[in-house]
Chain A
Amino acid sequence: MSQATLRIQKMSGHAGPVPGEGTQRELQVCKLIDVTTCIGCKACEVACLEWNGLPYRETMFENTYQTMPDTAWNFWNVIKFNEYERPDGSLMWLMRKDQCMHCAEPGCLAACPADAAIVQYANGVVDFQQDHCIGCGYCISGCPFNIPKFNSATKKVFKCTLCSDRISEGLEPACIKACPSGCLHFGTKDDMKELAEKRAGQLRDHFGFANAGVYDPPGVGGTGVIYVLHDATNPEEYGGLPKNPTIPWVVKLWKGPVKWLGNLAIAGGIIAVTLHYLRYGAKTVKEDNRAEGGQP
């Protein structure tokens, strides 16, 4: 964040190293969600609403633990619940905290046509700037995680900010502060990756989850939110976490080759008609209606 850019690097007339030098090894922040220790208490949902000043919403009951179907424009963080049957017939409750993944290569940002409506800070947080948003909804198509949500009253799109207002002040995100089981962690990307790998190894070595692993999908350049899963080979079971998320190829085509071919075609068309006019000019009409003259 902007404050990080004011960190002192060199100092005049100072004996010894710059105080605090090297304490910030890395700017990239990361939220680690260990789904294996999540108890599904939804404290993070409440904390998110409270910190961001969002209203409570009506819940639903459909005979499952899922009382809120999905994220919404005013509900940025939801526990996805799945009753999963293991191959041996035994039951397992899978709970995953779902929110914006803060992709290193964000599809929402790639798709957005409005100047600075979506930004990515140096710390990796992807943030929507609603005052620049035109409400076109392209970001909804660009995101592989179904995150940006449209408010049809204000025609603006909203999602998790990773509490950029808190972390710029050195605080952890509200959800992490509220988590009672300690399944949520916040720190630098390097540290969180290390912690996650350690935990996944523990699950493999001591708890019999042979496929335990870390979810940090390379298809979007890695994410600012990573998961530890009991079974990293089957992320879909965790409330539809995509196995290999990428920016949809149509979006890449549209914002890449199609754009340049289209621009070339438009420019080429304008140049072609200009050249035609310079070479051939207008057609001439003879008003003379008698039989002589140039029209055989």
Chain B
Amino acid sequence: MSSGRALPLNSAAGASGQRLLRYTLAERVNHWIATLSYIYLLLTGLAFWSPYLFWLVIFSGGGPTARFWHPWVGLLFTASVLYMYALWRGDMLLTPADLVWRRSLLNYIRNEDENLPPVGRFNMGQKQFFWLMLGGGILLALSGFGLWFADALPWSLRYLRYLAIFLHVVFALATIGGFIIHVYMGTAVVRGGFTSIIRGEVSAGWARLHHRLWYDQVTGGSPRKK
């Protein structure tokens, strides 16, 4: 399932002002289920993480309410990243070209995008973030069960509970790191990215700059040389 899949493109390739469909409605809806549930998990989780952030529970109806919903919303989040896997797994596979791209990571960070090799539907950073959230979503759910039903584990299996706490915290932190970068890139740096995940469309110039190979693929090859 590569990127050309079901992207209904019609107009003449490369025409100025052309809009390309980057995300289908299902992809967008799923992305926002994941985002909103993650933000809820983040705010309630951070409240339990630090006494200095316990006041965050005011946004979720107080401590006991937040404690009640956090695991259920967690299941929703994990379900949405699993569906995301079904939607995007083909486009998210790391390729040898990504390793080449990584050598120019500093150029990417410095916004010297003209020095970067062309990339497909997703770049290496996006792919890594996807795998981080998928792995994190699964492991947070598994460890979350240990926290959810703390009293269900017998005393002799208490080490599982300790392990669950540790894994939950470590993977929460790892996904928070990814989340900060993801939100920052998607809103502040890669302008147009935020609109694309809401409206589904990007401009041709946007696609050429950020995802040249994908652009070529969906437009049936660039009119320009190279």
Instruction: List A residues at the B interface (Cβ < 8 Å).
Output: 113-115, 132-138, 140-141, 146, 149-150, 152, 155, 248, 250-251, 253-254, 258-259, 262-263, 265-266, 269-270, 273, 276-277, 280-291, 294-296
Choose one: A146, A262, A273, A289; the contact of B155 (CB below 8 Å): A146
| Interface residues in B163-182 (C-beta closer than 8 Å to A) | 163, 165-166, 169-170, 173, 176-177, 180-181
Instruction: List B residues at the A interface (Cβ < 8 Å).
Output: 14-17, 47-51, 54, 57, 63-64, 66-68, 109-111, 113-114, 147, 150-151, 155, 158, 161-163, 165-166, 169-170, 173, 176-177, 180-181, 184, 188-192, 203-206, 208-210, 223-226
Since A259-B50, A280-B110, A285-B192 are in contact, a sample of 13 more A-B pairs with Cβ atoms closer than 8 Å, ordered by chain A residue number, is A134-B64, A137-B151, A141-B161, A251-B162, A253-B166, A266-B177, A281-B111, A282-B189, A283-B209, A285-B209, A286-B205, A286-B209, A287-B17
Residues in B with CB closer than 8 Å to A294 are 114
B147:A136 contact, CB within 8 angstroms: yes
Once the chains are docked, how many angstroms separate the CA of A253 from the CA of B14? Answer: 56
Choose one: B114, B147, B204; the contact of A296 (CB below 8 Å): B114
User: Looking across the interface, which residue of chain A has its beta carbon closest to that of B163?
Assistant: A250
Assuming the contacts A136-B147, A141-B158, A250-B166, asked whether A285 and B180 have C-beta atoms less than 8 A apart, the reply is: no
Choose one: A141, A269, A281, A285; the contact of B206 (CB below 8 Å): A285
Pairs of residues from A and B, 5 with the lowest C-beta to C-beta distance, nearest first:
A137-B150, A134-B63, A150-B151, A250-B162, A287-B205
Chain B residues touching A, majority SS? helix
User: Looking across the interface, which residue of chain A has its beta carbon closest to that of B65?
Assistant: A134
Sample (13) of A-B pairs whose CB atoms are under 8 Å apart: A134-B64, A150-B150, A155-B64, A250-B163, A250-B165, A258-B170, A266-B180, A276-B184, A283-B113, A285-B210, A286-B205, A289-B208, A295-B209
Smallest distance from the beta carbon of B182 to chain A beta carbons, Å? 10
Once the chains are docked, how many angstroms separate the CA of A285 from the CA of B16? Answer: 13
Residues in A with CB closer than 8 Å to B66 are 134
Residues in A with CB closer than 8 Å to B191 are 282-283, 285
Residues in B with CB closer than 8 Å to A132 are 63
Residues in B with CB closer than 8 Å to A115 are 51, 54
Chain A residues touching B, majority SS? loop
Choose one: B17, B50, B57, B111; the contact of A280 (CB below 8 Å): B111
Residues in A with CB closer than 8 Å to B150 are 136-138, 140-141, 150
Choose one: A113, A262, A266, A283; the contact of B189 (CB below 8 Å): A283
A273:B181 contact, CB within 8 angstroms: yes
A269:B209 contact, CB within 8 angstroms: no
Residues in B with CB closer than 8 Å to A273 are 180-181, 184, 188
Choose one: B114, B169, B192; the contact of A258 (CB below 8 Å): B169
Residues in A with CB closer than 8 Å to B57 are 134
B151:A140 contact, CB within 8 angstroms: yes
Residues in B with CB closer than 8 Å to A137 are 147, 150-151
User: Looking across the interface, which residue of chain A has its beta carbon closest to that of B113?
Assistant: A283
Once the chains are docked, how many angstroms separate the CA of A24 from the CA of B57? Answer: 42
A265:B173 contact, CB within 8 angstroms: yes
